[in-house]
Chain A
Amino acid sequence: MTDETKKKINAKYERELLHGERFWPDSLFKDAIVALGIFIFLVLLATFVGVHDSPKADPSDTSYVPRPEWYFLFLFKFLALYGQIPVFGKIEWVATVLIPGIAIGLLTLLPFIDKSPQRYYAKRAMPIAIMTIMVLGMVLLTMTADVPTVAADGSGLLGNLQTVAGLIVPSLAYIAFVGMAYTLKENAVRAIAWTTALAAALMIGFTAATLALYQPAAVAVIEIPTTLADQIVAGQDLYSVHCVECHGDDGKVEEITGVEGLEGKKISIISSKDVLYTVNDASMAEIIAYGRPDSGMNPFGKAYNPEGLTRSEIDYVVTFMRYTWDDRFEAPYIAPLYPPLAEGEVPSYSVHIEPIVKRYCISCHRPGKDNNNYLMTSYEELLTTGDNASHNLISNDPTSYLLQVIQQIPITDPASGEELIGVMPPNKALKPEIVEVFVRWVQAGMPK
């Protein structure tokens, strides 16, 4: 750049200043309004949207589908699409290092690449066109980040659409820009503008088609217990499923009975002061995760037990044990298992029976356990599964097997007098008010 041009630029700037504004108060006033707006917006987001919860990090859970922060999603998608290109697609570092590196390098050195002093839009068609396509591509790739390149049924249609929108159209547009700049020289502005518009329309069109064709799979929403009371309840539910079989619902079992492979094993009373006062939370979590092979404790960490617990879940179990059995901890208010029944109220499966079954029955009555094939994990299973399905729950019949066994009456075979089903739960009878809920529920015909 010659000194002549520099002088011209500076003179133009001086002229602009003459009919401009003052930094204080004009510009700062606008800045303050924007800052205030941003602050209010953030407070509203923090108050009404909050921060999305996720369970504690669990290095052993390799089934977790990783997902970067949203502003890296476009790079992720770019990588996935690049991987589809034959031969070249296998050289990963071209997409992870080389292409982003070149892009950032060009952006950084921009003032030294684009050295013309011209600033008016119409005189800068080329850089504006390149940037427009680049930014549009980034936005569109972010939008399609969740769309897989290979659909569940193996069809590559979605992947091809995305590749056209995210890689092929932008690349062709860039080649066209360069070609036009060289062949048409000064007259290229109009052609470049039209090419940009066309490429943008195609990219948006193909992305819209991708999104229209894509049916997102339903995502299970994981509720994260955040308050202490919620964590204790979550821990109790997990304890009921995984631990009750051996340790009993009050943790007082000294000798395991009725568990295959561990029959007659002597174990520590986990609700005793001996255990709770000498084992701290971290060690307790480790015992649950890694197990204690010599004393019969199976490992329950996800890495060692496919049906096992995540780090967060183990922490909830420990929290539950502490606040329930350790007399040094005072439990917060915890909502009752099910809302107490009023006089004449009819209990339902979802409100009353499900939480009770979850806490007292599911530990054994789930797949893979010795339970006469009676599964109790859903309403349908409760009514239809098991070797004695036709007798278990009969509408308004007090001789339903389930009602008898929970009232401490074992079922015997009338022909041989042999015991068919023992009392349930095997070790400790349910409280009378819980039995009452079951009785009323059967009386009313087991409403859902």
Chain B
Amino acid sequence: MRSTLWQKLFSWLDERLGLNDAYKNLLDRPEPKGNWWNTLGSASLFLFILQAVTGIFLTVYYTPSPDHAYDSIQYIMTEVQFGWLVRGIHHWSASLMVIVVFIHMLRVFFTASYKYPRELTWLIGIGLLLLTVGMGFTGYLLPWHQMAYWATTVGTQIAGSVPFAGEFILKSLRGGPDLSALTLQRFFAAHIWILPALLVALIGVHLYLIIRHGESHFPDKED
């Protein structure tokens, strides 16, 4: 019989993976009465996954070199099947992610959810906010068009105004005194490897802490 086969398979997997325990601990949790503002965190996570998926598709055609970056994106936009859709989503989703993550931070601030026992969740959340902005900053250069080039020139200049360490920071961001192929290459590396790796690690801890302490309730006069 069909059902017993599935049951057998399930119980075999359950013995080894602990599916029932996972269901109990991860999904079947009690939560305080939530409202729509509570969805901002999961919306940020959804946007991150969307960015990861569309970003991976984009790397199939994108070339991080000053000679080809612009043309490869033109190619994605005009020649690749649904390339315009993938790039369009990646582009708009980047801006939306900054907004959603920021409003998520404001929600946590205004409901004072950062207080005991969730201090560490807040700390990591700030890290995630800064990394999201960093993703925006590094990703903006990659199309290698006029807006991107000059925005990054000015952006790195500002980072270079730090007293004493400024010149070192400027040179390490640009890979030299001026924006060049090296800058594009290292912004690309930061955008697709370094920052996403940090993001994934911090998201993991953030989620663990949320499950550990549960979602905070909306404060009332007693709190």
Contact = CB atoms under 8 A, between A and B. Distances in A.
**Residue of A41, A64, A69, A93 contacting most chain B CB atoms (<10 Å):** A69
Given A54-B146, A54-B148, A71 B133 contact: yes
A119 B112 contact: yes
A43 to B, nearest CB: 7
A117 B116 contact: yes
Contacts of A27: 31, 34, 38, 215
Interface string A41-68: 1110111011101111111010011111
A23 interface: yes
B11 interface: no
Interface string B34-67: 1010110011001100100000000000000011
A42 B162 contact: no
Contact of A226 (B50, B77, B95, B220): B77
Contacts of B188: none
A70 B98 CA distance: 10
B1 interface: no
A118 B146 contact: no
Interface in A92-127: 92-93, 96-97, 104, 107-108, 110-112, 114, 117-121, 124, 127
Given A54-B148, A227-B78, A16 B126 contact: no
A23 B38 CA distance: 12
B116 A110 contact: no
Interface in B89-138: 89, 91-93, 95-96, 98-100, 106, 109-119, 122-123, 126, 130, 133, 136-137
Contact of B220 (A33, A55, A120, A282): A120
A227 B46 CA distance: 33
A197 B91 CA distance: 36
Interface residue tally of chain A, by bracket?
35 or more
Contact of A69 (B93, B113, B140): B140
A34 B39 CA distance: 7
B37 to A, nearest CB: 10
A106 to B, nearest CB: 11
A1 interface: yes
A282 B32 contact: no
Contact of A21 (B33, B95, B109): B33
B66 to A, nearest CB: 7
Given A42-B50, A51-B88, A69-B137, A97 B162 contact: yes
Contacts of B126: 104, 107-108
A56 B70 contact: yes
Interface residues of B, number: 85
Nearest to B30: A17
Interface stretch (A6-14, A354-362, A418-426, A437-445): A6-14
Contact of B148 (A39, A41, A57): A57
Contacts of B221: 120
A46 B92 contact: yes
A68 B154 contact: yes
B36 A30 contact: yes
B168 interface: no
B53 to A, nearest CB: 11
Given A59-B179, A64-B146, A16 B87 contact: no
Given A38-B47, A45-B92, A97-B163, A117 B31 contact: no
**Residue of A26, A51, A57 contacting most chain B CB atoms (<10 Å):** A57
A257 B28 CA distance: 86
Nearest to A24: B27
A72 B95 CA distance: 11
B29 interface: yes
A124 B112 contact: yes
A22 interface: yes
- Closest 5 A/B residue pairs (Cβ): A46-B88, A66-B150, A57-B149, A111-B119, A119-B219
Interface of B: 26-34, 36, 38-39, 42-43, 46-47, 50, 66-67, 70-71, 74, 77-78, 84-85, 87-89, 91-93, 95-96, 98-100, 106, 109-119, 122-123, 126, 130, 133, 136-137, 140, 143-151, 153-155, 158, 161-163, 166, 178-179, 214-217, 219-223
Interface of A: 1, 5-6, 9-10, 12-13, 16-17, 19-24, 26-28, 30-31, 33-35, 38-39, 41-43, 45-47, 49-51, 53-59, 61, 64-72, 75, 79, 92-93, 96-97, 104, 107-108, 110-112, 114, 117-121, 124, 127-128, 131, 135, 226-228, 282, 312, 315
8 contacts: A41-B96, A51-B91, A57-B66, A65-B150, A71-B95, A104-B126, A112-B119, A117-B116
